[in-house]
Structure 1
């Protein structure tokens, strides 16, 4: 086979059209077809429009468990893999790794207290994270609100920080599952983002390539989550747990509620401040609950059981790791966080009890205030966001401040307020309902390998 210029090219085992037709007609793809099409797409042999067609066929006709596992394996094989098997502490003790992935939500700052908390028990946490897009914030954006903190680390720097500190939160390298990055860009513009096999393989290819021994997934559902429907979120959680188990990674998933924002702070510096409250032994109950529950599962996956992670929040040991982690990446853990130049408040119009706070509306308001970006690469305001003052089930009086809006650009207030027009539901008191709202658990269900 030759290209148009006459240069010799490699012989291809399949062609894209036959693979597209197979999935279009409802057939399962063979291991060889999957391996070839992902590799050929990475090499540029399969064109973007052909992979887009295949993605749509997968969206419409699905994949079985074996296909999803093989597709994930092919995505991993498209790039590099990290290896932590030889990781040791500075004094020579072997280190086991554990990782967490969240499907994203409003006010989700859990990685910030979670990574140092788990590391305080002697388990290494290599948390490779990303930046936000749209109404969901990115972990790197939050941490970049800390003066001097840097996200970009080399592989050698990651290994050294894990050995010396025990935790690292940094940007993922471009070499991990590069096929996924190209495919995701296509899915985003072709209406195929919602495909559960493609979502699951996208997340898990990167996480397995990161080389961790234990993985805990935080799969969110509700208005502020990517998966609005609980049944869809449960299917995604089970699919990812199966992929992890098939790849030899100890994988557990928590199904968590994102119908209301997580905690009281939505926005980069605001969320760092709230994470520091949790690390100091305080913070909103839902943020503490989820941090502790995820830590418990991560530690169990790494072989550390019969501990209460809340103890290391209370006694300061998690905070000690946080300070070392931030300093190791150039940040000043004692520096003041950025504060917005302008604020406005949103007040209640009548008495009652707060029975609902729409997570999507709050996330959209924070985005409009400057906390998020519309396109990859757009700048974000470190200090912008929404600060919530009243929790679900709590009494409200006319004129009470429900939220404070923060931004450096006051012209943004009107559109942010419009997003919040119907975000807060205040109803007449009902003792049973209000007590249930105050006692609600953010964790809806645990999906483990033995029940997947």
Structure 2
């Protein structure tokens, strides 16, 4: 059945519910280039302003899945469970988490992305490891899941191609924040990936897309329902992103911090969230009885990490890139670190060269921010609060301005905020 794009736009503009046939047609026609970019832009804005029903979101997601291939992971010969984070600052959790879960005989098929703006990208981090390949064929991907248990790589262009087009369009048309479009974007790719189960890490706070808990809960509920409707066991944790995760914000330095966690050390918040997500993933994969904390302590998670890095062409023993320029930020007064705004720290790392403004921009593997203090810690005047790293000296000054503005010192400690704020299943 044929439709006119302008009629579909008008229907959503006027707050009407789109039929299944209209949704199937517009996604198929847009993917084929028969619906113009300006027409899909108008429809995306209408969806942002007027929302979608649960049934509309489910059909929109199904149509995006149907626009490409759906992977068959049965060749992994293990239960499969994936994790997806909605993005944050210092969020390197995938790096220790995937090999940790894999060390228990579970396959973790992690199709990841690159950073944009203040949020870091898992693929950019892994490419800081000399030789690491993020582009794998489907046969290589499934074979590595079978032999190693974990693979972190880029998604194939054939996976939900409608989402790839629409994601790029949303980024330049002010429609990124739409919960129906965020949920369908994430879940179309994860369902098409073919995993049995999925654990979502929905970030909340200044460094996240979702700034408040109510919006984050709505997004989490929408995605959990979409997963269940498509036969993927799905659970979501809502986690704090008012402050960066860990001490390292950048590419290579986040790899180094992840290795510390795999060696049984690392910052307490990174370890806490890694273990919380690991327990959810293992339970979803039918292994609720095992102890992931022990796997960090006894080295089995590190063995899985090294096997994964080698399988993708990387050298786990190679030194990580070092920045040419370093600048310290010191406390201008004594007191307690009150805030360390995740967004501001993320922008500072981006300005230093760790992130990109456009998808085609290069990133520095060595640039970033290394935090020396976190909120709640006492400092004396002159103590080092953070260390800025860059390859290009011209990037230092603007990055320093952002970093200094992200840190405040007060007379009293701020109220303690839990890392895991809620669970949705």
TM-score of the superposed pair, with normalisation by structure 2:
0.98
Correspondence for 1:300 among 270, 275, 283: 283
Residue 31 of structure 1 is matched in structure 2 by 20
| Counterpart among 414, 418, 422 of residue 441 in structure 1 | 418
Deviation at 1:146, TM superposition (A): 0.5
Aligned-partner SS, 1:274? helix
Instruction: State how far apart, in whole Å, the 2-side matches of 1:298 and 1:260 are.
Output: 24
Match of 2:58 in 1: 69
Cross-structure match for 1:320: 303
- How far apart are residue 225 of structure 1 and its match? 0.8
> C-alpha deviations, 1:272-318, integer Å up to 9, x for none?
00000100001111100110011111111111112221110111100
Cα deviations by residue, 1:17-60 (Å, 9 ceiling, x for unpaired): 22112111111111111111111111122111111111111111
Q: Of 255, 259, 270, which residue of structure 2 is paired with 1:287?
A: 270
After superposition, the C-alpha distances for 1:240-281 in whole angstroms (9 at most, x for unaligned) are: 111111111100011010000000000001000000010000
Equivalent position of 2:257 in the other structure: 274
Residues 131 and 139, structure 1, Cα contact 8 Å, conserved in 2: yes
Q: Distance in 1 between matches of 2:70 and 2:84?
A: 17
In the TM superposition, 1:311-350 aligns within 5 A as: 311-350=294-333
Q: Per-residue displacement from partner, 1:323-356 (whole Å, max 9, x unpaired)?
A: 0000001100011111111111000011111121
Deviation at 1:13, TM superposition (A): 2.0
Structure 1 residue 429: Cα displacement: 3.4
Q: Which runs of 5+ in 1 are unaligned?
A: 1-11, 89-94
Query: Is 1:50 paired with 2:39?
Result: yes
* Kept after mapping to 2: 8 A contact 1:87/1:159: yes
CA distance in 2, matches of 1:181, 1:442: 31
Which position in structure 2 is the counterpart of 1:426?
Answer: 409
Is contact 1:286–1:441 with CA below 8 Å preserved after alignment?
A: no
Aligned counterparts of 1:117 and 1:129: Cα–Cα separation in 2: 17
Q: Does 1:150 align with 2:133?
A: yes
How far did residue 442 of structure 1 move?
1.1
Match of 1:398 in 2: 381
Structure 2 unaligned regions, length at least 5: none
C-alpha contact (below 8 Å) 2:90/2:247 kept by paired residues: yes
Aligned ranges 1:380-395 → 2 under 5 Å: 380-395=363-378
* SS across alignment from 2:87: coil
Q: C-alpha displacement at 1:441, in angstroms?
A: 2.7
**Are 2:81 and 1:79 aligned?**
no
- Does 1:17 pair with 2:12? no
- Given candidates 139, 150, 162, the residue that maps to 2:122 is 139
Q: Give the Cα separation in 2 of the matches to 1:173 and 1:391.
A: 38
1-structure distance, mates of 2:5, 2:318: 54
Shift of 1:149: 0.7
Q: How many residues align?
A: 425
Deviation string 1:90-122 (CA, Å, 9 cap, x unpaired) is: xxxxx1100000010000000000000000011
Which residue of structure 2 lines up, in the alignment, with residue 91 of structure 1? none
- Are 1:373 and 2:356 matched, yes or no? yes
Contact between 2:75 and 2:146, CA under 8 Å: does it hold in 1? no
Consecutive aligned runs of 4 or more in structure 1 exceeding 6 Å deviation: none
SS at match of 1:422: helix
DSSP 3-state at the match of 2:423: strand
- Choose 1 or 2 for highest CA Rg: 1
* Cα deviation 1:145-203 (Å, max 9, x = unaligned): 00111111000100111111000001111001000111112211221111110110001
Give the TM-score of the pair, scaled to structure 1. Answer: 0.92
Distance across 1 between alignment mates of 2:177 and 2:126: 29
Cα RMSD (Å): 1.1
Q: Taking structure 1 as reference, are residues 429 and 190 closer, same or farther at Cα in structure 2, changes over 3 Å only?
A: closer
Distance 1:189 1:331 in 2: 35
Q: Answer with 386-395 or 264-273: which moved more.
A: 386-395
* Cα distance in 1 between the residues matched to 2:73 and 2:405: 48
Deviation at 1:421, TM superposition (A): 2.8
